[in-house]
Structure 1
Amino acid sequence: MAEQDIFDISVVGAGPAGLIAGAACAQSGLRTVIIGPPSNRDDRRTSALFGGSIELLKRLDILERLGGLSEPITGIRIVDGSASLLRAPEVLFEAREAGFEAFGYNIPNAALTEALEGASGRLLTRVPSGVTEVKIGSRDVTLTSDSGEKLASRLVVAADGRSSATRAAAGIEVSNWTYPQSAIVAMFHHQRDHHGISTELHRSAGPLTVVPGPGKTSNLVWIDTHEEVARLLALDDQAFCGELSTALKGLLGALSDFTPRQSFRLSGQTARSLAKSRVVLVGEAAHVIPPIGAQGLNLSCRDAAALADIAGEAKRSGVDIGGEATLKRYENARQADVGSRVFAVDLLNRSLLSNIPGVSIARGFGLFALASSPALRARVMREGVMPTTSHHQPSTSPLAQDVDI
């Protein structure tokens, strides 16, 4: 294969994580191709994107394409919704306390994917088909598409989800675990203004979260036992509305106009390595966590930003983009951030499920400390929006200068 026919980067997977990674790499001067069928447009979930994720979307000219579909998140309220006699105080994190206009934006996944597809068309090559074979060589990787087309690149980005065939081809193993919980997602209208505040009710079966949408709409993520979720899904809209109204205790007033409810079981997964054999992992190929604390796609955006910075710098320096030195830099840049976020989300969820009195007391003291200390709240907010564990050695890359990676 001629040298000019070899891409710098091949991204396998065309979901949000793959599209963001591909666009970021292309903008860093890397010849990039994305291989994968179009994403499911029936996805009714939304993603709350913060800090560096929003800056990355702005740099890629994505945020402006979303128009009035996204909603700024100016506050995060945490409410102890347990039946405990020693209930923790309510905590409200306000963006202005930490010097931000907003923590970020709540964006529908389907709209985000459509905007990413539109933007990527002018930056890179798209091949709308699956990959049937991954052949890893000493100097490049050859991918075979469903149609039999062969594409070679110096580095392959596995963005093909939790069951990633690309990850398996690189010989990267994973750790898996499950939770005794499922989640319901839906969008609904309400009578009262949400004022840009996302509310999390921490209940013994899992959190119930309502995230602000445009106008008087909000997006629901209701986590509960498998049995309770099955019961709630079987209700008609009127009965379900009554159940949610009771759970929210009138927070948003009268509720109406629910979209069809979707559900999924909660699980977790982490890759034991993030880079090996000319393959790096991003998105759910690298990490799967429950929809708690809005960490999933924010982690994926930081994966993309770090990859674009490191691979772009390698190309400018004449270093092998898929070589061991580049792979090691990516692994070192992402491991602490991914590990700490997966651990924190898992710990929070398991603490809610725990019947051990000391666990709930410790969580209550933590919330009490946050409620009592503006300085502590500000520190926690800055770490949540711009995590220090996601930083790696600074470079001259223009992408790294404005994006917290």
Structure 2
Amino acid sequence: MHEVFFESITKQLNVFITGVGNVGERLVEQIKQQKKYLKDNLKINLRVVGLSNSRTMIFNGGGISLKNWKEDLSNGEKASLEGFFENAKSLNLRNSIFVDVTANKDVAGLYEKYLRESIAVVACNKIACSSTFSNYKELKRLSLKYNAPFLFETNVGAGLPIIDTLGNLIASGDKVTSIQAVLSGSLNFVFNNFNDTTKFYDVVKQAAAEGYTEPDPRIDLSGVDVARKILILARESGVTMDLEDIENIPFLSKAGLESNSVDDFYQTLIDDESHYQSLFASAKAKDCQLKYVAKFDNGKASVSLQEIPKGHPFYNLEGSDNIVMFYTERYSQQPMIIKGAGAGADVTASGLFADIIRLGNN
């Protein structure tokens, strides 16, 4: 009898999701699909108790029915970030998890409040972890103090287990000596499709149309997004570093860097086609591939466009794939390599889902 009782205990997770656009919608659908599996095989009862987009929000302490959730959400109360937090707080459910599927600075600014209420935070939003080092450390401190996990696997490489693997290396006493990585699905897509028979403008437009770039492609093409990712990996390796410490060597034309709007920027891509063709011609002459590479070595980090020779692990990286090579004291000769799809709604949603399940297994 005693054993039967313990075997039947199920851990209940109460999930509040803000940002149910492209990725958020896939996450809700994945949860709906796997609900029974989690209960039967992992003894996790996963309930979505709060949902919000930029317009409306809904709550149900007993769990929102995921059958017609979109319709229910469209009839919800007016959304507000503070209101969403207050509802999560007042419901006061054990094992509450706030999931941020936005790229919103104001949402990232609320993590501190959630953690102080012992509400775990799962984020694909990179803003908090790439903000000032003091803010990053404070969120880590609050997470420990209030026993509220703060997980952000999808900050780097979408659903690839990059941050989790790095954490396991560090926790087991290994030390990272250097990291080499291709961390932008959008830039990899651009340079895999750009050649002397295509136009740089057309390839960037295609990347935007297929959802690989931010609505403002300058964020991707300026290297800022990749700089944020290598910053997060450096910090997770135990290094004190801020965004301005990273050397960012631009490949954009001068006019492209100085453009004042998205439309202006696109026009510079047309005007400066010869600049981009010269980058391709230089790589082709050496039988190299163009890849946008992030490096961390000896406490210093950089991001830049590189000519990658045949035989290098980055050379055949396809589509929008990402790759990370960790060189550590234990992996000193042959690096630990993690490689795979580094962009896309489904894989990003599954990365968020994996973080949620990780909390259920804790």
User: Shared fold (TM-score greater than 0.5)?
Assistant: no
When you count helix as a share of all residues, which structure comes out higher?
2
State the TM-score, normalizing by the size of structure 2.
Answer: 0.31
Pick 1 or 2: higher relative contact order, CA cutoff 8 A, min separation 6.
1
Please give the TM-score of this superposition, normalised by the length of structure 1: 0.29
Higher strand share: 1
